[in-house]
Amino acid sequence: MRKLEGRTIVVASHNRGKLEEIGALIAPFGLSAKSAADYQLPEPEETGTEFEQNAYIKAFAAASATGLPALSDDSGLCVDALGGAPGVYTADWAQQPDGSRDFAQAMRITEEKLHEAGASQPDQRKARFVSVLCLCWPDGHAEYFRGETDGTLVWPPRGRNGHGYDPMFMPDGHAITFAEMSPEEKQGIGAPLSHRARSFALFADAMLGRQ
């Protein structure tokens, strides 16, 4: 496994929620990070059918354009009753004609599809959040770190924190949704809870020498 030698990386994302979450995870390790938006990089077309593929597309685009190692996240919600959908197309269910994203709409679509599938009981509404971090160097070499969090989808949505589908996702072992948790609770300090915190913990252990 190739190690991260420098302390400057590019976070290959234009998603403000992801940037804030990754930024909070990176900060304790003394990394200097800029976003793809800081370099005015265009968002590459995500043509992969797996999280790892799309994470690589984003990370390699940023790394090759800046000459710096780039860290990307591709994540999504996989719903058992929907055959794993929306999966890599999670953000697409929120897409608006003007290019913006409406996750209230995305959650409504998810609930409608669950209703069509007859998934009304908690044990029929199981889902998992998946996060794949890809650290890519300008020469194309990449390392991957995958985190998952299992849970149940609730309706109506609850809570005002977090982003994306957080208001309808209640992680296993908890009685509140991600959106009802504080950032500290969601990150699970000392015991990662969120899918992104779990993938980042693997990244930190491997790349930053966290003990």
Residue 73 is inside which H or E element, if any?
strand 70-79
Dihedral sign computed on CA atoms, order 119, 121, 124, 125? positive
Rounded CA separation 46/195 (Å):
20
CA of residue 120 relative to chain centroid, distance: 26
> Which residues are CB-contacts of 96 (< 8 A; sequence separation ≥ 6)?
102, 105
Among residues 74, 102, 139, 172, the one annotated as catalytic is 74
Dihedral of the alpha carbons of 43, 195, 166, 48, in degrees to the nearest 10 = 30
Rounded CA separation 176/168 (Å):
9
Q: Is 123 a catalytic residue?
A: no
Per DSSP, helices labelled H in 50-97 are 51-66
Rounded CA separation 37/79 (Å):
31
Please give the positions annotated as active site.
Answer: 74
